[in-house]
C-alpha cells in the first residue's frame, strides 16, 4: 500500500492538555497537525483562530494545516500565516471567486488547498487544479466532528487521483471526515495521500500512540 500521511485534528483534542497532546502526536508519528477554523457563518460552529495556531506552533515543528470553513477567508490569510500556518485550505463553496481567492493566497508563502463538500462534484474545481498544492475531499458534511464516513467519497477520490496523474500535476489528496481503522484502507487505496483523523487519535478510550498505530496498521 502506498505511503500516506496522518494529520490529527485538534477539534477532538483535550484543550486542558493541548500542548501535551500535540507533543505526544509528534512523538508517536503524526505527519502534521490539522486545525479547523470555523466562522459560525459558512458552518454553524465557531472554533479556532490565530491564538490557537500560535499555541500549536509553539508545541511542534510539524506542518500546521489550516482548514478554513469560513466566508471571505482572504481576510484572515495574513494573521494565520504569521501565527504559523504552513498550508491553508479554502472551501470552494465559501468563495465567490475561488480563482481570485487562490491568487490572493498565492501572495503568501504557504501551501494552497481547496476543499469540496460531499455534494460538490470534482468538476467544480477543474479550472484551478494547476494553482493548488492540495485538494481536500470532505467525506462528511463540514462543521462537526464524530460523523460517519460517506462511502461515495471513495469514487470522488479515485476520479481526482486519475485526473492528477493524467495531467502530471503535483497535487496531494487530503480526506477529512469519519477516518478510522475501518475506513482508512479503502480511502488510501482510492488515492488519498493525507488522512485527517480526530476521535480516532484523540480519544479517552486509548492513547494517542495507540490511535495512530492502529491507523497505520492497515493492509
- Please list the active-site residues: 36, 176
DSSP reduced 3-state for 48: coil
Q: How far apart are CA 211 and CA 25, in angstroms?
A: 10
Residue written as grid cell 463553496: 93
Residue written as grid cell 482510492: 190
Is residue 124 within 8 A of residue 146, CB to CB? The reply is no
Q: How far is CA 187 from CA 138, 154, 160, 178, in A?
A: 12, 6, 12, 11
Is residue 88 within 8 A of residue 66, CB to CB? The reply is yes
**Can you name the residues that pair with 194 across neighbouring β-strands?**
5, 174
Sign, Cα dihedral of 198, 118, 45, 128: positive
2 backbone dihedrals φ, ψ, rounded to 5°: -60, 150
Q: How far apart are CA 40 and CA 25, in angstroms?
A: 28
Q: How far apart are CA 104 and CA 186, in angstroms?
A: 35
Amino acid at each position: 500500500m502506498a505511503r500516506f500521511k496522518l494529520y490529527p485534528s485538534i477539534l477532538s483534542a483535550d484543550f486542558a492538555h493541548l500542548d501535551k497532546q500535540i507533543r505526544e502526536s509528534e512523538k508517536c508519528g503524526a505527519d502534521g497537525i490539522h486545525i479547523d477554523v470555523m466562522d459560525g457563518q459558512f458552518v454553524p460552529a465557531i472554533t479556532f483562530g490565530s491564538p490557537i495556531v500560535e499555541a500549536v506552533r509553539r508545541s511542534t515543528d510539524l506542518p500546521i494545516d489550516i482548514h478554513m470553513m469560513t466566508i471571505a477567508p482572504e481576510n484572515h490569510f495574513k494573521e494565520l500565516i504569521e501565527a504559523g500556518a504552513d498550508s491553508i485550505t479554502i472551501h470552494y463553496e465559501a468563495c465567490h471567486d475561488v480563482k481570485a481567492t487562490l491568487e490572493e493566497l498565492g501572495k503568501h508563502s504557504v501551501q494552497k488547498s481547496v476543499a469540496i463538500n460531499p455534494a460538490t462534484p470534482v468538476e467544480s474545481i477543474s479550472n484551478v487544479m494547476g494553482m493548488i498544492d492540495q485538494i481536500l475531499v470532505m467525506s462528511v458534511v463540514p462543521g462537526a466532528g464524530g460523523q460517519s464516513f460517506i462511502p461515495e467519497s471513495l469514487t470522488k477520490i479515485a476520479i481526482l487521483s486519475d485526473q492528477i496523474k493524467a495531467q502530471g500535476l503535483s497535487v496531494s489528496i487530503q480526506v477529512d471526515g469519519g477516518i478510522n481503522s475501518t475506513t482508512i484502507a479503502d480511502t488510501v487505496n482510492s488515492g488519498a495521500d493525507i488522512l485527517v483523523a480526530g476521535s480516532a487519535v484523540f480519544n479517552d478510550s486509548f492513547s494517542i500512540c495507540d490511535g495512530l498505530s492502529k491507523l497505520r496498521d492497515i493492509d
